[in-house]
């Protein structure tokens, strides 16, 4: 196998020669098909398996590949610049990118669906990930963080803001609401439920128990 730079040099020399000879051949009707260059070409050369992607068989089992292809039978496309982030070269200049990457050379990180709420899409160990600002979380930074927690079935709807179910109030939905107030020092402990102080009772702690 030839090194890349010498392959390239030979490629250029050979292409120049081919162009020259093609011109000569076209001008002479009795010229044989193809070109023969004793020191490079063997017109009887056999390449088995055959050269792919329009490669030319120049010596027995030696293919001269057309631009953009390489390998013993010119079976591999090469992409310059190379496909990044594990992308596969499909044909010259065309990369197939793994999930999470895009762009001509798979050089762009793509977070499917984007990153919300100011998150940044970056590559972490070859995977596209959203890096979220401090008060957001989730794969797309779609979930707000309520450091105080949302209790009693409340849900965090924005950083530090709980949406509370009916009957609860407060920053963490921790305060029960009693539509009718609890009387006589009673305490509202859950929606419309008073805990009464002795000797009171009743829904609003309005009754005084009779002592016998
Ligand atoms: C190429 O291979 C053919 C048979 O496949 C053989 O007859 C010929 O001599 C070979 N040419 C060279 C230069 O080795």
Pocket test for ligand 1, best of 40, 58, 60 (most atoms within 8 A of CB): 60
Q: How many residues does the chain have?
A: 212
Burial of 72 (0-12, 13-18, 19+ CB in 10 A): middle
Place of tokens 């027995």: 60
Per the rule left: phi > 0, alpha: psi between -120 and 50, beta: everything else, 61 is: left
pLDDT at 42 over 70: yes
- Give percent above pLDDT 90 in the chain: 67
- Calculate the dihedral angle through the C-alpha atoms of 166, 171, 173, 177, rounding to the nearest 10 degrees: -60
Q: How far is the CA of 116 from the centre of ligand 1 (A)?
A: 65
pLDDT at 19 over 50: no
Instruction: Give a yes or no: residue 26 inside a domain.
Output: no
Question: Ligand 1 in contact with 72 (CB < 6 A)?
Answer: no
Across the chain, what does the average pLDDT equal? 83
pLDDT at 26 over 70: no
d(C-alpha 139, C-alpha 12), whole Å: 50
Domain count within the chain: 3
For residue 81, say if its preceding peptide bond is cis, omega within 30 degrees of 0: yes
d(C-alpha 173, C-alpha 150), whole Å: 6
> CA–CA distance from 123 to each of 102, 111, 158 (Å)?
12, 9, 27
Instruction: Give a yes or no: residue 164 inside a domain.
Output: yes
pLDDT confidence of 23, banded at 50, 70, 90?
A: very low
Burial of 160 (0-12, 13-18, 19+ CB in 10 A): middle
- Residue 63 and residue 55 in contact, taking contact as beta carbons nearer than 8 Å: yes
Instruction: Give a yes or no: residue 94 inside a domain.
Output: yes
Note whether 100 and 132 are same-domain residues: yes
- Taking only the tens place, the pLDDT of each residue in 118-174 is 999 998 887 889 999 999 999 999 999 999 999 999 999 999 999 999 999 999 999
From 78, 100, 128, the end of a domain falls on 78
Buried b (16+ CB within 10 A) or exposed e, 127-142: ebbbebeebbbeebbe
- Taking only the tens place, the pLDDT of each residue in 177-195 is 999 999 999 999 999 999 9
pLDDT at 99 over 60: yes
Provide the sign of the torsion angle of the four alpha carbons 93, 94, 98, 99, taken in this order. positive
What's residue 21's pLDDT?
Answer: 42
Question: Ligand 1 in contact with 42 (CB < 6 A)?
Answer: yes
Q: pTM of this prediction?
A: 0.49
| 3-12, 20-29, 161-170, range with the lowest pLDDT | 20-29
The whole-number average pLDDT for the span 47-68 is 93
Question: Ligand 1 in contact with 46 (CB < 6 A)?
Answer: yes
pLDDT confidence of 40, banded at 50, 70, 90?
A: low
Q: How far is the CA of 45 from the centre of ligand 1 (A)?
A: 6
Residue 46 domain boundaries: 41-78
Residue 161 maps to which CATH number?
Answer: 2.10.25.10
pLDDT confidence of 43, banded at 50, 70, 90?
A: confident
DSSP, res 116: -
- Taking only the tens place, the pLDDT of each residue in 70-96 is 999 999 999 988 999 899 999 998 999
pLDDT at 68 over 80: yes
- Residue 112 and residue 118 in contact, taking contact as beta carbons nearer than 8 Å: no
What's residue 37's pLDDT?
Answer: 45
Instruction: Give a yes or no: residue 188 inside a domain.
Output: no
Residue 46 maps to which CATH number?
Answer: 2.10.25
Instruction: Give a yes or no: residue 7 inside a domain.
Output: no
φ/ψ of residue 133, rounded to 5:
-65, 165
Instruction: Give a yes or no: residue 210 inside a domain.
Output: no
Question: Ligand 1 in contact with 143 (CB < 6 A)?
Answer: no
């Amino acid at each position: 196998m030839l090194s890349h730079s010498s392959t390239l040099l030979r490629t250029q020399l050979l292409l120049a020669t081919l162009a020259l000879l093609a011109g000569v051949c076209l001008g002479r009707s009795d010229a044989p098909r193809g070109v023969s260059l004793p020191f490079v070409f063997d017109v009887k050369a056999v390449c088995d398996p055959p050269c792919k992607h329009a490669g030319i068989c120049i010596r027995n089992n030696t293919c001269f590949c057309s631009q953009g292809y390489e390998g013993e039978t010119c079976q591999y496309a090469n992409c310059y610049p190379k496909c990044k982030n594990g992308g596969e070269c499909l044909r010259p200049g065309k990369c197939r990118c793994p999930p999470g990457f895009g762009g001509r050379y798979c050089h762009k990180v793509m977070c499917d669906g984007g990153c919300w709420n100011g998150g940044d899409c970056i590559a972490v160990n070859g995977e596209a990930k959203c890096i979220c600002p401090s008060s957001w979380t989730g794969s797309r930074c779609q979930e707000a963080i309520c450091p105080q927690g949302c209790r009693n079935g409340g849900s965090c709807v924005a950083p530090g803001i709980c949406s509370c179910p009916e009957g609860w109030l407060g920053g963490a939905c921790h305060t029960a609401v009693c539509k009718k107030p609890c009387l006589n020092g009673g305490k509202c402990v859950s929606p419309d439920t008073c805990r009464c102080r002795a000797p009171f009772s009743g829904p609003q702690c309005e009754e005084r128990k009779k002592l016998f």
